[in-house]
Structure 1
Amino acid sequence: MCEERDQLIRSHSFDETAELLRNGSYDYCFIYVDDVEFSAKVENVVTLRQRFPVLKILAFPYLSSQSAAMRMLSMGINGQCSPYIAKEQLRLVLSVVSSGEIWGGKEFIQQLIKQSSEASLSEQPLESAVNFVGSELLSEREVGVAKLIAKGLSNKEIARDLEVTERTVKAHLTAVFRKLRVKDRLALALLVQRGISDG
């Protein structure tokens, strides 16, 4: 992903970063959000997003905070992930972001699905509901996997629940994504939740 002409320029303050961005031409801005005055630094990230709307901004928060992640992502930053991310994983993040998608990180997405599930499925239990858009295209097992994704379960939890391997769960998910033409578990969860709450 990185080419030899790419270079990393480090800044040490919000003002210095804003100055560099104002006077240069950059595609990406990586921001480490440390734990000192964490909330203020989250707001600095939001401010940079507002000042530089075309710039791809990735935040690397030291603290794991759902509210901070939601604040930054809802204001349009392109992604957030752990500051200890491996090089290969960072390549994946950059690939996703460069294609116009948002990267939220596994934990954040799982939590978002769980919150959405609790809000939308409080009236009708997921297990008793059958139909959601495209469910007729899926096998009974794939429908089961889709419903468990909509509840916010991880692949490991689904494997345990269905008494299968994680590899089997991944295979079912790949088939479900392809058949329903959704690209990730959040999109699948929302599709299932919407169909069930409308039904």
Structure 2
Amino acid sequence: MNILCLNTDDAVWKHWNQVTSEQSSLVRAMAFDEVRKILEDTFLVFSYCFIYLEDSLLSEQVEEVVALSTDFPELKIIVFPNQLNQAASLTLFSAGVSGQCAPYIGKEQLSLVLSVVDSGEIWGGKAFIQQLIMQSVVPTEIQNDELEELSERELSVAQFISKGLSNKQIAKEMDITERTVKAHLTSIFKKTKTKDRLALALLAQSRYGVH
């Protein structure tokens, strides 16, 4: 498994090498231009792109990450901000970033994060993602015709997502298994052309609102 890492902090870089699995091969870049060059020129396929966000350059780096996500939509980007910033996080998740973690994340926690991202979910963790969903402002230009294609059960799942419920909570509300919720979400993402639960929540909110 190849992981492309933008990391200018030697201590954090050393930590990442310690907490990633032995099967992982980390490739270090020191600037966004270098990240782009590696993605465009190398024969390697990267499972993830880890990006360390510095406090002093946060706003510029957020813009760079958004551009990177737009240009390489299949790339699973996980950001590691030195300090949490809710506005920056909302911008990054809305742009398609797959996850956000502390720079000195533990080995078991990182393994969990990668497992969640692999399954098509986004990691923040759950409470933070739900808070983002609840506090997001719905863009007026969102089109919700795609929701017309959903089955009644899928519409119910979409409504619960718009309220910030987790898969476990949705399963309890609908009296179904979490596996069934995940199956519904896979179908919903495909039909609505959304890539994660935050995008789906914004789409569902544009039709149903949050009650």
TM normalised by structure 2 equals: 0.55
Corresponding residue of 2:28: 10
Distance 1:48 1:21 in 2: 10
1:61 aligns with 2:57: no
Distance 1:57 1:107 in 2: 20
Larger fraction in strand: 2
1:113/1:47 CA distance change after superposition, 3 Å? closer
Task: Please say if residues 116 and 122 of structure 2, whose CA atoms lie closer than 8 Å, have aligned partners that are also in contact.
Answer: yes
Task: Please say if residues 52 and 82 of structure 2, whose CA atoms lie closer than 8 Å, have aligned partners that are also in contact.
Answer: yes
1:76/1:151 CA distance change after superposition, 3 Å? closer
- Which aligned pairs between 1:151-166 and structure 2 lie closer than 5 A? none
Residue of 126, 129, 134 corresponding to 1:109: 129
Distance 1:62 1:34 in 2: 6
Distance 2:129 2:69 in 1: 21
1:179 aligns with 2:175: yes
1:4/1:85 CA distance change after superposition, 3 Å? closer
Task: Please say if residues 69 and 108 of structure 1, whose CA atoms lie closer than 8 Å, have aligned partners that are also in contact.
Answer: no
Distance 1:5 1:196 in 2: 43
Distance 1:99 1:93 in 2: 10
Q: CA deviation at 1:111?
A: 2.4
Identity score, percent: 47
Residue of 44, 59, 68 corresponding to 1:39: 59
AA paired with 1:19?
Answer: K
Residue of 53, 71, 74 corresponding to 2:94: 74
Q: Secondary structure at the match of 2:102?
A: coil
- Which aligned pairs between 1:78-89 and structure 2 lie closer than 5 A? 78-89=98-109
AA paired with 1:16?
Answer: E
Q: CA deviation at 1:40?
A: 0.6
AA paired with 1:21?
Answer: L
Root mean square deviation, CA, Å? 3.8
Task: Please say if residues 123 and 129 of structure 2, whose CA atoms lie closer than 8 Å, have aligned partners that are also in contact.
Answer: no
Distance 1:90 1:5 in 2: 14
Q: Secondary structure at the match of 1:32?
A: strand
Distance 1:151 1:102 in 2: 13
Q: CA deviation at 1:174?
A: 9.6
Kindly provide the CA deviation profile for residues 171-195 of structure 1, in whole angstroms up to 9, marking residues without a partner as x.
x959727824546xx89xx79xx69
AA paired with 1:80?
Answer: Q
1:196/1:69 CA distance change after superposition, 3 Å? closer
How many residues are treated as equivalent by the alignment? 149
AA paired with 1:10?
Answer: R
AA paired with 2:27?
Answer: I
Q: Once structures 1 and 2 are overlaid, which stretch shifts more, 102-111 or 173-182?
A: 173-182
Q: Secondary structure at the match of 2:26?
A: coil
AA paired with 2:117?
Answer: V
Where structure 1 has 5 or more consecutive residues not aligned to the other structure, the ranges are 120-132, 135-145, 153-171
Corresponding residue of 2:143: none
TM normalised by structure 1 equals: 0.58
Where structure 2 has 5 or more consecutive residues not aligned to the other structure, the ranges are 2-19, 139-151, 154-159, 183-196
Q: CA deviation at 1:107?
A: 4.8
